[in-house]
Amino acid sequence: MARTQAADYEDRQIAIVDKAADLFAKRGFTGASIADLATACGTSKALFYHYFPSKEDILYGVMSSHIDQLVEDADKVVAEHGAPEVQFEQLIRAFLRHYVGAASRQKVLLNELAHLPDDLREKIVSKQRHVIDVTQRLLVALTPSLRGDPARARVQTMLLFGMINWIHTWYDPQGPVKIEEIADMVLQTLGKKASA
């Protein structure tokens, strides 16, 4: 007989994803076993499988919780229909604010994608492409020289992500430079700062 879902089922799934993100970030996907995850969550392996059918499903949960937030950030900015320079600035600020609180998830997303089954990997990659495409459209709207040159527009967009995607490796949220200042630096480096 199938186990019924507890009232706090989703909360427990979220807690598992949180612990898994930290464990996968520290040990890598292959370096962390289900037993390790169960121990980190203070539960049994058997109960663990009540919340996720496989370790790959947990990995997908970690990645999707992160990329879904980036998709939401991108879609929210575009839905506001502001001037492209304002939208672009809001987008960069939203991404960086999100990255600061999701260092483990960002590391897992960047390093462990190959461990997902093809169908789940394609879902994540599709969401990544969406975030990249939204960013590229705004960048092209602000950069006349990129219009009509999709290859260079993509390179410029990927250079931007190369600049911000690795912030989790060096940024200290407790340090003297706050994330809004980092956003200013990114925008100034690109020559795209809208506000004074």
CATH of 54-190, one of 3.80.30.20, 1.10.357.10, 3.40.50.970, 3.40.309.10: 1.10.357.10
Per-residue pLDDT of the chain (196 residues; tens, 9 = 90+): 445 556 677 888 888 999 999 999 999 999 999 999 989 888 888 877 888 899 999 999 999 999 999 999 999 999 988 899 999 999 999 999 999 889 999 999 999 999 999 999 999 999 999 999 999 999 999 998 999 999 999 999 999 999 999 998 899 999 999 999 999 999 998 887 655 4
CB atoms within 10 A of CB 59: 27
Instruction: Provide the pLDDT for residue 194.
Output: 56
Instruction: Provide the pLDDT for residue 1.
Output: 43
Say what the pTM is.
0.88
Q: Estimate to the nearest angstrom the gap between the alpha carbon of 160 and the chain centroid.
A: 15
Show Cβ contacts of residue 143 under 8 Å, excluding neighbours closer than 6 positions: 153, 156
Show Cβ contacts of residue 135 under 8 Å, excluding neighbours closer than 6 positions: 74, 91, 157, 160, 161
Token pair of 134 as six digits: 């939204």
Q: Please state, in angstroms and rounded to a whole number, the distance separating the CA atoms of residues 168 and 101.
A: 9
Q: Please state, in angstroms and rounded to a whole number, the distance separating the CA atoms of residues 51 and 191.
A: 47
Token pair of 39 as six digits: 């121990």
Of 53, 52, 32, 188, whose CA–CA distance to 111 is shortest? 32
